[in-house]
Structure 1
């Protein structure tokens, strides 16, 4: 029987690397998708024949389609798991002071690369994965999206990052149940508190109290839970130090709001 196959974006460092090593230890084959060629190539050599590095900038759609095609073909026409993990912090400070105008006196365009990588690429990734999950011998698969504790609480320092991570929580809850019902694909998300990875600025690493850090083992525990239980979908796991906390959406403020978002679905489906 062939080994299960995973595609992990941002797989050459941080949570992605830890997940890669974890899955390899459990008998998976893993495609490491990353923009860091040097690290990725060295890792693939180090990790052995069940690991493959593929260069991909997830903000470029052609890169995404190529990485999924490569993973599916290399895996023997199967792709069991997509970890939508690649992410970056804000590329431009929205709170910056001073002159931000161009030669015409208009505001310069804000750099939205963070939104392209953290949100748009994940939406596209889920869309592309559905295509390949349908082609598995047993149609279906699993997706885990890396959101953040910044997707549950306000984070004024990195507003684009925070906004994108909030949106990923919403995406998970919106597509999780119908993806399972219609495609046999489960979709869940993790929301880690600070895990010390390369995304964290060096000066923060020195200042942050060690007792306030969430260990990588907590993230891996959440992944295992979602991979082992094929019934969980549309779920959001908040990670805080050693705790994995399943977070439900806010309660409906009124019965009318509940009707609008639950009972009225049959009306909307007649249009869409």
Structure 2
């Protein structure tokens, strides 16, 4: 009788990719993609440990790491998306505004985006101030993204050419002994009309004329943030000028990205600022145009 032939069963060849997928601990991937699930899994493993069941320290460590990394990724993506939606704003339409005063020779005009709405205005005998804010709504909350303020105050020093010449020298020289005394009130003005949780970092002043003001004018860029000058939230420009009878202050700021997005328009705003014209013969002020 011939020996019995043993027939080996045919084993189907598995695709090479299957062992790869089977070797993955899917909980690691789930913890990375869904951090809340990873957190629940960790709570479950801790509960098992309390009940006396053994848990693999390596597995726990990897799940903790995956959950933390996943949470950071979600936070970064949310922050980027949130900031992009909030800060991607193009100002296109402008309107002219006139800041009046109870005294002659202390008014000023300027253009502003229509989205900036008046927030505060106060006028007393020798000075006047107004500020505007552009607020946007996100997740049922209001966020202010742009700020503008203007002020004029009458002073006899504005008529003193020697004082103005010395003022210009001090403003443009940080090493001058009077620099801090002169600039502190200007920084305080900017700080007053900037969110209180942000700190102002004022840049260097320069005697830079605009299309609307050609003399006795100084400008400075500034930043405002939780750590001013390092990771600032706002970027702005401050203008300080002297007219025939008054001093004038003007500031415009917005989120850093938004400033770069609207740089030409903000320069147009700066150029639009006009103060009372020089005195005509006979002492009458020319009207603002």
Same fold (TM over 0.5): no
Structure with the larger strand share = 2
TM-score, with normalisation over the residues of structure 1?
Answer: 0.28
